[in-house]
Structure 1
Amino acid sequence: MVEKKIRHDYRQKMYYVRHFLPVTLVVSRNLPVYSLSAMHDRITQDSIARALGLSIKTVQRAFSGSDKVAESTKTSIQNYAAMVGYSRNRGARALVRNNLQSMHLFSSSSPEYFWSKVARGMESALVETRDFGYAAFYHPIPPRNTAAYMKELQRASTEGLDAAAVVNNPEYDMGRIFGFLDHRRIPYITLNIDATETQRLGFIGPDYGAGGRLAAEFIGKTIRSSSKVLIIHNPVDSEHILAGAHVNEERLLHFVSYLSVHFPYIEHQVVSFGSNQSRTDIEQELEDILTGGADDFTGIYSIADMQELLGKQILRRGLESRYIILVHGVTPETEMYLRSHAFTAAIHQNPFKQGYYAIKLLEYYLENGAAPSTIPPVSQGIVLGHSMDYEDDIWRFE
């Protein structure tokens, strides 16, 4: 029912999902002698106070983060609590807080197939547990519309915005957007595309350089002979102030570097397409490449966002088995060409997990007042044509 609700509301400007998040408890097995007797009884703040010879008020203040308690005392209390496996009652604290803490995720509304999976990941994180006092809002913004973006951001800030996840998308004036968040002192993470130059708490998304290395490894191990690989690339045209948005350049750099080190017998050639080129010109150039250089290369690595045009050319000329073709992203077009074997494989970056971990990270920050010390990147994988029948399993995880 919840999933149907989200899918139904996705095309609206904003939808609201009110569920609540879990917390991961860390229990140490290395218990000191003085804590063993306490394990026979239910651990409470009162029992912690008695064990440490402190007042219950001091323990309560320490857990609430009060500056009236010395840092050394807080540390002692927290260490002891971890040793005996104590966890505060989050539901009770939510009642005491008596207000919802709101997490907001902002992204472009396009492509819908990608962001709908991010929304499914958000939903999965939010329905795991309930009653901890958190709410989540998702804002899909029309492409290239900074005014609409700022309007949604200001509205969310007015109505209550405790933490945010923001995609560093060069379609918008990201300097203005990050500046707004910094000025309002709203904690935020970057999602999908990083912006290390900002004051973000952390990043949830793939390591795009690792995606390039994975592509090189797949191409190198699949070809396994002296040959040439054609790299189809479309560089970022804008002089975007945030370097994290240059995803394709990161993929290309690491692909070429990894290929040259681990598969030096494979040559490569880069063909770049600008965003200002017309569809007709791109189609003609692709046709010239595939017909004129058919004997020059064995593999094609397409970083460019032109899977549909490339797939059509391959099918039109009956070249399904002629090349090893690897593309980025499992799009509706990619899926079709994988099934027809026009493409050999695709690299996916799991948008489901990105939505899931974005909510988990924001919840962790709001719960603990700090981001986790380590945030691993969302792993990427290879999808082959025959595995597309199990597409739902690609995005599902335990």
Structure 2
Amino acid sequence: MKMTIRKIAELSGVSRGTVDKVVHDREGVSNEVRTHVQKIIDEFGYKLPTRKPKEIIQQVEPERSYRVAVLSPRLTNPFFEKVIRGMQDALMSESAQSVHAEYFHCDSENVNEQLSILYYLEEHGIDGILLRGTRNQRLCDRINHLTEKGIPIVLFDSDVPGSKRLCFVGENSGASSRVAASLLAKSIGEEGEVAIISGLPDMSTHRARVQGFEQVMRERFPKICIVEKINSRDQSVIAYEKTRYLLRQYPHLRGIFNAVGCTGDIGQALIDQQAQHIKMVCYNMTPDIVALVKRGIVDFAIGLAPYQQGFSAMNAMTAYLTQGKQPAAFIELPQLIGIDENIEALAKTM
């Protein structure tokens, strides 16, 4: 039986891209996987196709194609709509013509759903995966397993601590939350009551934002009291109702730090309760947030460049697959501060 790269991949339990790297002695494969694949090659006698010099000159071997999968939250969130648009535009470049993406939309907090998709992709063959991470050991273990199988993983927006992912593309959450704390403190005169609205506890980005904010308040602004942390679970109805609760419970509340999404619903609660005097700092510059900043409901919005996030994540993956280019372990995105006078212009660039 004539052996092919496809058959070697099936026998080895790895992707065809991994076998191709072993055969041509390219980087991007662990020593353990390389040894395993080479053993299969030696056992079944696979040899590279040979051609006469004239044939090599006259014939051009078809370019290898790559399949990558993107696991993203559903596009009802305009932030991730821009992330996906950035990924799609990255695939339009000449160097990425051989890479084709398939999109799977799932809730990031539903780890079982993410894992089932990852199992499916491994079973049916995939050359690379991009996904939004969560702090979950099972997900971490699955990422490490796929990496050892020679399938590179690029994480975006939220990292998976301890994973062997190829790289993470996103914000420096600690730095951005320190900026948020300083902005809110200065806007309320460095004293008074403030509250934090947090989101998904398993999202490393959300957790780091809250921790950074609290640390700055303890260290630099002792006259500011964080009266409560509420969890919206990044759900619109919960965010609205819990903001109303905050306003009833703390009539002297002076500021809100929204570390997650649903800013539009939080802003609506402030409007409905006639509490526009409360200062608010949030993330992102989606159309609803731009409108709230222009109305004076949101005082500062920290932009996270979603389009650039998607473009950089896909670009890192395509460069690795097609050129063997190793990206930086952390591709940090810029932080931009939007206020009433500049937010419309900034939002167009993100």
TM-score by structure 2 length?
0.70
Measured against aligned partners, the alpha-carbon deviations of 1:186-239 in whole angstroms (never above 9, x if no partner) come to 11121111113111111111111111011123234444x4422503233645xx
Aligned to 1:286: 246
Q: Point out where structure 2 has 5 or more consecutive residues left out of the alignment.
A: 1-23, 28-56
Contact kept, 8 Å, 1:110 with 1:142, in 2: the verdict is no
Aligned partners of 2:309 and 2:252: how far apart in 1?
Answer: 39
CA distance in 1, matches of 2:244, 2:327: 50
Kindly state the Cα deviation for residue 254 of structure 1 after the two structures are TM-superposed. 1.4
2:216 alignment partner in structure 1: 258
Aligned equivalents of 1:65, 1:179: Cα separation in 2: 22
Question: SS at 1:197's partner residue?
Answer: coil
Q: Which residue of 2 aligns with 1:167?
A: 132
Query: After superposition, where does 1:373-384 map in structure 2 within 5 Å?
Result: 373=328, 375-384=330-339
Question: Given the alignment of the two structures, is residue 219 of structure 1 paired with residue 184 of structure 2, yes or no?
Answer: yes
Partner of 1:348: 303
1:135 lines up with 2:93 in the alignment: no
1:102 paired to 2:61: no
2:196 aligns with one of 216, 221, 232:
232
2:169 & 2:247 partners in 1: Cα distance?
38
The aligned counterpart of 1:6 is none
Match of 1:178 among 131, 134, 143: 143
| CA distance, structure 1, for counterparts of residue 278 and residue 107 of structure 2 | 37
In angstroms, what is the RMSD of aligned CA positions?
3.5
User: Residue 215 of structure 1 aligns to a residue in which SS?
Assistant: helix
Give the stretch that moved more between structures: 342-351 or 370-379. Answer: 370-379
CA contact (8 A) 2:167 2:328 kept: no
Kept in 2, the 8 Å contact 1:121–1:355? The answer is: yes
Q: What is the letter of the counterpart of residue 267 of structure 2? A: G
Equivalent residue number for residue 31 of structure 1? none
Out of 319, 328, 332, the position equivalent to 1:364 is 319
CA distance 1:122–1:172, shift in 2 (3 Å): farther
Q: Where does residue 271 of structure 1 map in the other structure?
A: 228
- Where does residue 312 of structure 1 map in the other structure? 268
Q: Is the 8 A contact 2:72 2:105 kept in 1?
A: yes
**Structure number, greater radius of gyration:** 1
Partner of 2:20: none
TM-score norm. by structure 1 comes to: 0.62
How far 1:287 sits from its partner (Å)? 2.5
SS in 2 for 1:273: strand
CA distance in 2, matches of 1:306, 1:324: 16
Does the C-alpha gap of structure 1 residues 316 and 141 become closer, same or farther in structure 2, counting only changes over 3 Å?
A: closer
**What is the correspondence of 1:1-398 to structure 2 with a 5 Å cutoff?**
65=25, 96=61, 98-109=63-74, 111-129=76-94, 133-141=98-106, 149-150=114-115, 152-157=117-122, 160-169=125-134, 174-175=139-140, 177-178=142-143, 181-182=146-147, 184-223=149-188, 225-234=189-198, 236=200, 240=202, 245-261=203-219, 263-264=220-221, 266-274=223-231, 279=238, 282-289=242-249, 292-294=251-253, 297=254, 299-303=255-259, 305-320=261-276, 322-369=277-324, 371-373=326-328, 375-390=330-345, 392-395=347-350
Contact preservation (8 Å) 1:191, 1:354: yes
The one-letter code matched in structure 1 to 2:321 is L
The alignment covers a number of residue pairs equal to: 293
Give the whole-Å Cα distance in 2 for the aligned partners of 1:143 and 1:178.
15
How far the C-alpha of 1:335 sits from its partner, in A, is 3.3
1:41 equivalent in structure 2: none
Would the alpha carbon gap of residues 300 and 149 (structure 1) be closer, same or farther in structure 2, given more than 3 Å must change? Answer: closer
Question: For 2:332, what is the secondary structure of its paired residue?
Answer: coil
Do the aligned residues in 2 keep the contact of 1:103 with 1:359 (CA within 8 Å)?
A: no
